[in-house]
């Protein structure tokens, strides 16, 4: 089953820096509910490609779902990034892009919580969405630690300054410039974090930066439920199944993937031997089924039962479908985003999970 995609019109483009621009879309009048989103989520967009027909990429929303503004992603050009360069060089107001509905779990459980937000470079995009929304809808204090190469690289510099000036009792923004201070060290980050040990922490940015910050947070005993890290990579697959020029190729890929998944299931000798009972908590509802085939991935099984479980890439390359195990065990066919700590905390990817035990209980919250 493919996610329903939409053609969205570009209604505004703002150059934030020399190599970053914000792209705003008009939400279709017939599908506003499809594009309701939470701060910190992302869009999956289809960028035209001469080689593959489409390059599917995930870009975080920088807009707030509560201020009446348009649906906006912010894209930073990267040296070898085909999609980001295409967007920065070719996209114009009035163009359309094929887009999947918002997805992702990098979002606060409560907008009233005190938030410690770490951004590195273009990782400020979901951090900006969270900041805008929490200031507008929440009551907690917000601290933003924003690391960049130099002053010219700072995205949203003017708006962050304005928001801090307008909300002096709630928002503190700290800029860290490599050109001035060098790269932050674990000791420096640890000293910075000390006053905020009761806050909910969110981290987004380049992999070395996220590893540095999350390591410090673990060493300071931040509990896992108050420590969040954005995780997705450039998608290798194509979730836009209704694109005509790729339909035949996708049918061939689907057949190959089915063979691969079947082989992977065969390779897991310790999968459950018969139908599995699965209990799922999703958006405040509970679903129970007793006929989960161990050779069928959890997402595929739930879809066959009419359950609208979240996902984006279906390839194990993003965390949109992340579940937490409450009982039992599963094994994943592919996993490109979860690290050892995530796995130890019971986090799995629903789109890649096959049951090991006869009973499995999971939550999407």
Q: Strands 276-282 and 171-177, how do they pair?
A: unpaired
Q: What is the DSSP string of 195-253?
A: GGTTSEEEEESSHHHHHHHHHHHHHTT--GGGEEE--B---SS---TT-GGGHHHHHHH
Please say whether the beta carbons of 294 and 262 come within 8 A: no
Say whether both 81 and 129 belong to one domain: no
Same domain assignment for residues 71 and 130: no
Tell which of 209, 229, 249 closes a domain.
229
Residues 99 and 138 in one domain: no
> How would you classify the pairing of strands 200-204 and 227-229?
parallel
Same domain (yes/no): 216, 279: no
Q: Are residues 134 and 208 in the same domain?
A: yes
The domain that holds 32 is classified in CATH as 2.40.30.10
Do the beta carbons of residue 328 and residue 247 sit within 8 Å?
A: no
**223 plus 203 within the same structural domain:** yes
**pTM of the shown model:** 0.79
pLDDT (tens place) for every residue of the chain, 365 residues total: 456 789 999 999 999 999 999 999 999 888 899 999 999 999 999 998 776 678 888 899 999 999 889 999 999 998 878 899 999 999 999 999 999 889 888 899 999 999 999 999 999 999 999 999 999 999 999 999 999 999 999 999 999 999 999 999 999 999 999 999 999 999 999 999 999 999 999 999 998 999 999 999 999 999 988 999 887 655 556 677 644 444 444 444 444 445 555 555 555 668 988 899 999 999 889 999 999 999 999 999 999 999 988 887 787 877 788 899 999 999 999 888 888 878 888 899 999 999 999 999 999 87
46 lies in some domain = yes
Are residues 119 and 224 located together in one domain of the fold?
Answer: yes
User: Does one domain contain both 327 and 278?
Assistant: yes
E strands, the chain, where?
6-17, 20-26, 42-49, 53-60, 71-76, 96-103, 115-120, 142-148, 171-177, 200-204, 227-229, 276-282, 285-292, 322-327, 330-332, 347-349, 353-355, 359-363
Among 60, 77, 103, the domain-final residue is 103
């Amino acid at each position: 089953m493919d996610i329903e995609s939409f053609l969205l019109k570009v209604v505004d483009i703002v150059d934030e820096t020399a190599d970053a621009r914000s792209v705003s879309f008009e939400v279709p009048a017939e599908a506003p509910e499809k594009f309701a989103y939470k701060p910190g989520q992302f869009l999956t967009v289809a960028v035209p490609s001469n080689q593959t027909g489409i390059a599917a990429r995930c870009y975080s929303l920088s807009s707030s779902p509560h201020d009446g503004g348009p649906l906006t992603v912010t894209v930073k050009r990267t040296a070898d990034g085909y999609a980001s360069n295409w967007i920065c060089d070719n996209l114009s107001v009035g163009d359309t892009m094929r887009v999947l509905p918002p997805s992702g779990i990098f979002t606060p459980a409560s907008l009233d919580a005190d938030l410690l937000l770490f951004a590195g470079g273009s990782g400020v995009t979901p951090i900006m969405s969270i900041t805008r929304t929490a200031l507008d809808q929440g009551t907690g204090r917000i601290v933003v630690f924003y690391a960049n190469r130099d002053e010219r690289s700072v995205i949203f510099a003017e708006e962050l300054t304005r928001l801090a000036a307008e909300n002096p009792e709630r928002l503190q923004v700290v800029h860290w410039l490599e050109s001035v201070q060098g790269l932050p060290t674990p000791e420096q980050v640890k000293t910075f974090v000390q006053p905020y040990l009761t806050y909910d922490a969110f981290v987004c940015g380049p992999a070395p930066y996220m590893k540095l910050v999350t390591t410090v947070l673990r060493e300071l005993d931040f509990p896992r439920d108050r420590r969040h890290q954005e995780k997705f990579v450039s998608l290798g697959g194509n979730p836009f199944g209704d694109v005509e020029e790729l339909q035949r190729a996708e049918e061939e890929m689907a057949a190959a993937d089915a063979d691969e998944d079947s082989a992977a299931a065969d390779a897991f000798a310790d999968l459950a031997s018969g139908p599995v009972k699965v209990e799922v908590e999703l958006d405040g509802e509970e679903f129970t089924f007793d006929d989960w085939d161990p050779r069928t991935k959890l997402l595929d099984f739930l879809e066959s039962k009419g359950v609208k479980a979240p996902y984006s890439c279906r390839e194990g390359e993003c965390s949109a479908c992340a579940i937490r195990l409450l009982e039992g065990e599963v094994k994943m066919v592919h996993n490109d985003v979860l690290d050892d700590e995530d796995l130890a905390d019971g986090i799995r990817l629903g789109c890649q999970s096959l049951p090991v035990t006869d009973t499995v209980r999971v939550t999407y919250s």
